Structure 1
Amino acid sequence: MSDPVRPWLSGKTGTNDEGRAAVGTARPWLTIVGIGDGGVSSLSGEAMDALDNAATIFGGARHLAFLGDTRAETVVWETPFADALGRLLERAGTPTVVLATGDPMWFGVGASLARHVSPDEMLVLPAPSAFSLAAAKLGWPIQNASCLTVHGRPVDQISRHLFPGEKLLILSENGGSPREIARLLTSRGFGQSRLTVMEHLGGERERIRATVAAGYDLGDDEADLNLVAVTCVAGRAATPRPTVAGLPDDAFVHDGKMTKRTLRALAIAALEPMPGALLWDLGAGAGSIAVEWLRAAPRVRAIAIEPKSERCAMIAENAATLGVPELFIVDGKAPEALAGLDQPDAIFIGGGLSDGVFDAAWDALKPGGRMVAHAVTLESEAILLDLHGRLGGELMRVAIDRAEPVGPFRGFRPSMPVIHWHVTKPNPRPGQAG
């Protein structure tokens, strides 16, 4: 006898090794439907069929209100996400719909679900994203704008996208986000930037208003569903920072324990930041290496390990100011503080080469990963000389002379030389233990 709830299943259900539902189906059991503020009237026939055939429909309270009467069980998408995800995966094998705002794969729930549900089990039916709707209203070529979100993310991240003339499209967390964004822009010297707050795009309650960041005057009635478009205007107090490595030393708050500009640029180049890669910055000091790593490539991650709490506070301040508040800071001393951290693709050791730090770091580094270490004392220099002899790589002694006043004249004053060593960890040969 056929199952009236899932007549289109043609295989067995089970679970794969990652805990995701494994379903042999003629079509996916999960459909993620993007819906705009126009409600169900804006949905395609395919999306309407998915809703009509669903046994369960997940969505926010606003999304579910669009449905009216339905035979399906409706479940309000709850927080934390892990709880809601568990309830969703329990429906594996039955026709299930998740309603999401706009394009579910662009800063949406679809991107999160894709980490737990395989592509052949999931059908995504996107609606126009808020970015697309906003760009159409403004006449902005969307490829020339930076599309960002502060939904569930710190507003400080916007700082690394502040350049004269840059156009930003920013998804808000709630009705308070536009004012918070205006406050950030003003604090960074971009107070004359033009803000366009766009609420309920594509719906009956659509409202579009413009103001200037420093004189934000749109009141306190902004809708929670809004997007902020920013045309950046740099004032005299603005200090736009390029994403290329080697920011000026005065871009950082520090107590002198910091890799200086020239050596920092050399270190970042040798660490080779690539999209998605993870860096450990050991003995991070002011966090300048970790901060510049995060600014250098998309989707990279960094962990700064620093044993002094006052320096950890400086690292956090530098990360926020320079637009990388996602930097993860560990207040602890290596090698003990390394336990349980995700395996890195690159490691920088700016201090503390003794006490087993290198051995623990080298063991943790992924095959093919990059190791960079600097030394300024004779003791740490001796360690690097030995490591270079055993492991190879490139070793150099960097001495920089800077022009400084000498009475009424100028002269070159040498700085303390630094030993720079970088090496790539070999990949084990087939059949060879790693």
Structure 2
Amino acid sequence: MTPARPGPPYAVTVVGLGADGWRGVPDASRAALRDAEVLIGGPRQLDLLPPECAGERIAWPSPLRPAVPALIAAHTGRRIAVLASGDPMFYGIGRALAEEAGDRLRVLPHPSSVSYAAARLGWPLEDVEVVTLVGRPAARLAAALHDGRRLLVLSADAGTPAEVAALLRDRGFGPSRMRVLEQLGGERERIGDATTADDWTRARPPGDPLNIVAVECRQDPDALRLGAVPGLPDEAYEHDGQLTKRHVRAATLAALAPAPGELLWDVGGGSGSIAIEWMRTHPSCRAVTVERDPVRAARITRNADRLGVPGLRVVTGAAPAALAELPRPDAVFIGGGLTAPGLLDAGWAALPAGGRLVANTVTLESEALLADAHRRHGGELVRLAVAQAVPVGGFTGWRQAMPVTQWAVRKPVDAVDPVDLVDPHDPVDPLDPRDTASEADR
């Protein structure tokens, strides 16, 4: 029998801890902590370790994320153990450490609070959506609200349950049942009684800061229904008429074909509907919307917040000048300003090979530009016409909306990529998202 090959020398061992502290640490994790020359973690975590863990104890500085590379580098050559809550690879420090140490990282996980919560509630974990509000705005919870869904919300602190209840009421989910689970797996574990968001009062005293909120979504029968696919009702948006209407919006998102982790430029944002629904397709989708009118730009921010994608970046400025410093997109949508000199060419040039561009217009002048672009680059040129039934006296007839001309194209994979023309000795573009992707971006 061939002997097992020795593994790589570990630069860092990350150890998951539960609310039960040292008592719940398995033997392999205990051995790693006893053997470590350097112990890095939060003050609360370091205080859980007994004196037999004799390594030098270092508390994480704040902000934590930027400090990781330098702190690990400062102790190169020493046996480093990093303390984490629960499973380090689930919304934990494990991700940042993996980026630094690669295959020289060893992870010794502990059951996460999510696993404990699902076990206590009897909820199959594969049927539950997890939303973290740790270091993130509560508004992002709105994108996960669908009647009948079960959610586990990772709380930032003791005030999070009240924030969740307020958001549920505001978004038409007041009948949803909530339960707060505290200190899961520890001696002070507590599972609160179920109540509805409507019955949650501000007078309720805050509980333990280490908690998770379980939500069984129930929508008010009179609330506006927001589906999981593009084409939300127009009534979901605050707008001044500058809104890609529902049926055209659905067709536009289908042509843009968002995929997880991709970045969209939405040029001529209007009310932000294309960027917002791009981001709602998957939590990792990102978008930048460019709008020259500051009043509309502020409105886009409000729409994004209400519809659960507060991470939408809004740039106030005129294109194409406002595009110059943006991170490179995977797809570009141009919904306004097509006649601005150089805009269409700037969008095309920004795309990598395989990227998509979609442009909509209702004017003959812009339609001529799209026809010329179609001749030069190919793709699909279509006209979208929508009519709605309206009363005509005592009868019903059709009212035709202005037809929309749409050009949709994918940049050929064999196209010359502008990045390939950069001198390899030049510094890397610091705005390229492939080089600056951070935990917040993903």
Same fold (TM over 0.5): yes
The 3-state SS of whatever aligns with 1:214 is coil
Alignment of structure 1 residues 73-92 onto 2, 5 Å: 73-85=56-68, 86-92=70-76
1:94 maps to 2:48 = no
Please, which of 146, 169, 174 is the counterpart of residue 191 of structure 1? Answer: 174
Shift of residue 25, structure 1, vs aligned partner: 8.1
Which one of 167, 188, 196 corresponds to residue 212 of structure 1?
A: 196
Partner of 1:372: 358
Distance change in 2, residues 1:117/1:419 (3 Å): same
Q: Which residue of 2 aligns with 1:130?
A: 113
Q: Secondary structure at the match of 1:233?
A: coil
1:82-105 CA deviation, whole Å, 9 max, x = no partner?
A: 443122332233211111110111
Q: CA deviation at 1:371?
A: 0.4
The CA distance in 2 between the partners of 1:221 and 1:372, in whole Å, is: 49
Query: Contact (CA 8 Å) 1:160, 1:241: kept in 2 or not?
Result: no
Partner of 1:401: 387
Q: CA deviation at 1:159?
A: 1.0
Deviation of 1:428 after TM superposition, in Å, equals 2.6
Cα distance in 2 for partners of 1:361, 1:383 equals: 13
Counterpart mapping for 1:340-379 below 5 A: 340-353=325-338, 354-379=340-365
Aligned to 1:50: 32
TM-score (norm 1): 0.91
Moved more, 68-77 or 375-384: 68-77
- Is contact 2:249-2:274 (8 Å) kept? yes
Partner of 1:277: 262
Q: Return the letter of the residue paired with 1:199.
A: E
Deviations 1:308-331 (A, max 9, x none): 111111111111111111111111
| Alpha-carbon distance between aligned partners in 1 of 2:224 and 2:189, rounded to the nearest angstrom | 35
Q: CA deviation at 1:36?
A: 0.2
Whether the 8 Å contact between 2:352 and 2:417 is mirrored in structure 1 is: no
Corresponding position: 1:116 with 2:79? no
- Structure 1 SS opposite 2:243: coil
Instruction: Give the aligned partner of residue 263 of structure 1.
Output: 248
Q: Note the C-alpha offset of 1:238.
A: 2.7
**One of 299, 307, 313 as aligned partner of 1:328:** 313
For residues 385 and 182 of structure 1, the distance between their equivalents in structure 2, rounded to whole angstroms, comes to 51
TM-score (norm: length of structure 2):
0.89
Matches of 1:308 and 1:336, distance apart in 2: 14
- For 1:306, the equivalent position in structure 2 comes to 291
Partners of 1:273 and 1:402 in 2: how far apart? 28
| Whole-angstrom CA distance in 1 between matches of 2:56 and 2:104 | 20
Written as runs of structure 1 = structure 2, the 5 A alignment for 1:9-88 is 26-69=8-51, 70-85=53-68, 86-88=70-72
Hey, what does 1:385 align to over in structure 2? 371
Offset from partner CA, 1:379-407 (integer Å, 9 cap, x none): 11110011011111000122222221222
Amino acid in structure 2 at the alignment position of 1:268: L
How many residues align? The count is 410
Q: Distance in 2 between matches of 1:66 and 1:278?
A: 42
User: What residue is the counterpart of 1:236 in the other structure?
Assistant: 221
* Kept in 2: contact 1:162–1:240 (CA 8 A): no
The answer to whether the aligner puts 1:166 opposite 2:149 as a matched pair is yes
Whether the 8 Å contact between 1:165 and 1:232 is mirrored in structure 2 is yes
Q: Output the CA distance in 1 between the equivalents of 2:134 and 2:227.
A: 25
Q: Which residue of 1 aligns with 2:165?
A: 182
How has the CA–CA distance of structure 1 residues 431 and 128 changed in structure 2, closer, same or farther, with 3 Å as cutoff? closer
Residue-by-residue CA offset, 1:314-352 (whole Å, 9 max, x unaligned):
111111111111111111111111122211110000011
**Could you tell me how far 1:137 is from its partner in structure 2?**
0.5
Other-structure match for 1:20: none
Deviation at 1:26, TM superposition (A): 4.1
2:82 is equivalent to residue 105 of structure 1:
no
Structure 1 gaps, min length 5: 1-23
Cα offset for 1:219? 2.7
SS in 2 for 1:286: coil
Counterpart of 2:133 in structure 1 is 150
Query: In terms of mean alpha carbon deviation, does 418-427 or 405-414 score higher?
Result: 405-414
CA contact (8 A) 1:376 1:417 kept: yes
Separation in 2 of the partners of 1:125 and 1:141?
A: 24
Residue 419 in 1 paired to residue 402 in 2? no
Q: Distance in 1 between matches of 2:40 and 2:333?
A: 45
Give the SS at the match of 1:382.
helix
RMSD: 1.9
- Does the aligned pair in 1 maintain the 2:8–2:104 contact within 8 Å? no
Q: Tell me, which stretches of 5 or more residues in structure 2 are unaligned?
A: 1-5, 422-442
Q: Which whole-Å CA distance do the structure 1 matches of 2:176 and 2:387 have between them?
A: 41
Q: Mark the CA change 1:282 to 1:228 in structure 2 (over 3 Å): closer, same or farther.
A: same
Aligned partner letter, 1:291? I
Give the whole-Å Cα distance in 1 for the aligned partners of 2:150 and 2:133: 16
Task: Give the counterpart letter for 1:108 in structure 2.
Answer: G
Q: Secondary structure at the match of 1:170?
A: strand
The structural deviation recorded for 1:429 is 6.2
Contact 2:38/2:81 (CA < 8 Å) preserved in 1? yes
Deviation at 1:253, TM superposition (A): 0.8
Amino acid at match of 2:271: A
Q: Give distance in 2, aligned partners of 1:31 and 1:411.
A: 70
Deviation at 1:355, TM superposition (A): 1.9
Cα distance, 1:408 vs structure 2: 2.1
2:279 aligned with 1:294: yes
Deviations 1:80-129 (A, max 9, x none): 124431223322332111111101111111123223331x1101111001
CA distance in 2, matches of 1:323, 1:238: 16
CA distance in 2: counterparts of 1:409 and 1:425, whole angstroms: 48
Q: Which piece of structure 1 moves more, 330-339 or 80-89? A: 80-89
Deviation of residue 73 (structure 1)?
A: 1.1
